[in-house]
Structure 1
Amino acid sequence: MGKKETESIVVEVLKTIYDPEIPVNIYDLGLIYELDFYEEDELKVLMTLTAPNCPMADQILEEVNERVKALPQIEDVTVVLTFDPPWDKDMMSEEAKLELGFL
């Protein structure tokens, strides 16, 4: 399986993870900035949160790590949290904006 296929599977998994305070998955919220494969089975997930003081930060990061690492295609995952650039609602998908009433 190639990186593109694996990336699609990773995205589908990320779409099952929700910020507990917002009824939209973290991928459509625009919290995932980058998926970078070091090797075909080693992945870095660069992501942010909706706010630097998010009380659920540890839980969300751990869930991303556990769910992605559970994929048979992924041997190792590194989740990197950044606030540069800061998240804003313009990073959300059209579906997320519609779900949250921004459209």
Structure 2
Amino acid sequence: MDAHGEQQARRAVDDVPAVAIARRAETHGTEARAELAFAERFVSVVGLSPMDYLLRLRVALAKDRLRFGGARLTEVAAACGYRSVSAFSTAFRRVVGVALGGYALRT
């Protein structure tokens, strides 16, 4: 693997929330260690990382809004904390397995 490939692989690993938190804990001291402890405790209690829990919560809220609210996709994305429909659609598909627009049309 060349240097560019190694750099991309390292970025991909650093994007994993638990790895990123652990690396910050190693380099930034007490605050990052507290964040790591919180994340570990959260996973042990909830069974998901804080970010995965938040993502699933946002998707559940979006599904309800699409089913019962008749809101537009831009409104749903914004209400769920996303600035763009594209970013939210990617996250929605990752969780639900169906594109946001396709889900909206079926409900």
* TM-score, scaled relative to structure 2: 0.23
* TM-score, scaled relative to structure 1: 0.24
1 or 2, which has the higher strand percentage? 1
Rg bigger for which structure? 2
Task: Name the structure, 1 or 2, with higher relative contact order (CA <8 Å, separation 6+).
Answer: 1
